[in-house]
Structure 1
């Protein structure tokens, strides 16, 4: 009643132990399969701008999209704590249905488990996704080159701040919405402007700082960013000042970091700004040769500081 009523499609409706899709249909979109999985345990289940269902679909779609893949199919596994109101489950599933339709993916197989009260916190969701990478697209964290430009698609740290507020850990006069959204259509627009995007990753747990460190380490380059160029909401800035947090490490659920060749940067930036998910796109830095494997921030006071990889979890249960 709950899941089939929302997710019904030709691959799901036979209700076999697996979804079977023709390989010819996959090959129409490219020559390589992309496969990912993630598990969502966010607390609380509902927050400004989304819920655990929104995260479960958008997060897995985005993990496929940043490889350049077109997301096609998702699985949905849920672990439900005994006593969860069915209406709560319906709300979450309705969000999953809406975001899947927005992203152009089908939820084709799944599983449900109910555990004793106290064995889980209300609801956990696992989604795995399959997509196809177009021929000629070769995005990798190891592709950054000196002179390349670093671009983000909007304000940073919105999701992490939204979760803090939803937990009543932070009282702000204005309510910061999560940025949770599927990004495939934005990535498609970027690839249309420049098929040779060097690096691309969504900045979820660990934020932009973690993504940039992964790029710098994999490519053995330095990445230099400018604090004054970082797009930040005033509310997020205020939250970080109050709690002593760095917005570069706050989680995002609808933001990506791209590294492109300098000659392609104007085209990519224009394509991003023309898309609803990229209107706030900005150049935040550049790739350099030294110091290899490190990220360096030019502060608003004109000095430099090293931006290290985040150790541990700054905020638990954010996704």
Structure 2
């Protein structure tokens, strides 16, 4: 056998080995993609409220099974209900159980308005009206309740919505951790506007409206039991005006979602699951403030899984991406908006991340509850 023959044989062997390794990797990715959240255990735990895989399992196997209908099964930020006029009604509801009730940058009152306004905005709706229900512990200070109601009024005025109905209940001391607020909201979706994971296509770009991780870290540090000092304020804010700017600049926007519980990583996994496509993120493009990155590093938490309350993700067709990004960056809330990834055909149903070191890793849904009671 000549040297050339041996070299050729070695090359063929190397190619075969590489192909085998590639097939093995693809098989492992496919097995990962087929995994669906399973409801484990016999009782509810704090992990079921964290917005990750345990939350998804609870919703799928308990509530969707109980209330199954086409409007619910979309599992969006709100239900879209068609009206005879050609417009659609968007309807959303949320409960807020943050601890402490006040934190740098906001309070439970701000969250209660911003959270529901933002959920409506993610459906493409213009938020209009809110309801507010309060579960109050016996002994809760009236002055503090008045301040929280004032926070809600200020937030509603800034967002252009009105609180038009509500309810109060009082429970025994120790039964509600001080105060629980539930808001529901109604908005109108203009005729012809459709946002859905099913409209997403390979090559579409993933935009993020600003820096991530601030809300979750601000609340965690405000509890004062971590011995970490950092100037981190919650990003809680209504994003409906910023969404209007985006949709005006990029009317073919495919999908919107605000990455609250479970953060960007969990929301991208929901997008991959619902679209049947892959999401490829670039770690170098993720906007994270240095102080947030440092606090997450000390706590061993990935910023991509930390909650946000004033940011959103958008999937935009590539030809409209420059206009979309420019519109976001012109708005005070979107100055640090960035393109953080793209939609791919493979591996379908999976989120991957190009790391800063040049490798690639799989990004899963949030597992467990490292940040309890943050919204």
* Selected match of 1:163 from 219, 226, 245: 219
Asked if 1:230 is matched to 2:295, the reply is no
Conserved? CA contact 2:230–2:295, under 8 Å: no
Which residue pairs with 1:12 in the alignment? none
Task: Mark the CA change 1:198 to 1:205 in structure 2 (over 3 Å): closer, same or farther.
Answer: same
User: What TM-score do the two structures reach when normalised by structure 2?
Assistant: 0.76
Matched residue, 1:117: 173
Match of 1:129 in 2: 185
Quick one: structure 1 residues 30 and 159, their matched pair in 2 at CA, closer, same or farther if it must change by over 3 Å? farther
Deviations 1:24-65 (A, max 9, x none): xx9899610000000000000000000000000000000000
Instruction: Give the corresponding residue for 1:295.
Output: 351
User: Offset at 1:171?
Assistant: 3.7
Q: Which residue, 201, 207, 221 being the options, matches 1:145?
A: 201
Gap change, CA 1:70 and 1:249, over 3 Å in 2: same
Note the residue ranges of structure 2 that are not aligned, 5 or more in a row.
1-81
Q: CA RMSD in A?
A: 1.5
The residue number in structure 1 matching 2:101 is 45
CA-CA distance at 1:142 after TM superposition: 2.3
Deviation at 1:310, TM superposition (A): 1.4
Which of the residues 298, 301, 310 maps onto 1:242?
Answer: 298
Greater Rg over alpha carbons, structure: 2
Task: Quote the offset at 1:118 in angstroms.
Answer: 1.3
1 or 2, which has the higher helix percentage? Answer: 2
CA distance in 2, matches of 1:30, 1:102: 28
> How many matched pairs?
294
Do structure 1's residue 309 and structure 2's residue 365 form an aligned pair?
Answer: yes
Q: Which residue of 1 aligns with 2:51?
A: none
Q: TM-score, normalised by structure 1?
A: 0.90
Distance apart, 1:311 and its partner CA: 2.5
SS at the partner of 1:223?
strand
How far off its partner does 1:132 sit?
A: 0.6
| Corresponding position of 1:282 | 338
Change over 3 Å in CA distance of 1:29–1:227 after alignment to 2: farther
Give the match for residue 210 of structure 1.
266
Cα distance in 1, alignment partners of residues 144 and 336 from structure 2: 33
2:123 equivalent to 1:67: yes
SS state at 2:336 partner: coil
Structure 1: segments with no counterpart, 5+ residues: 1-25
Shift of 1:286: 0.8
Compared CA separation, residues 141 and 170, structure 1 to 2 (3 A): farther
In 2, the alpha carbon distance for the partners of 1:308 and 1:174 equals 28
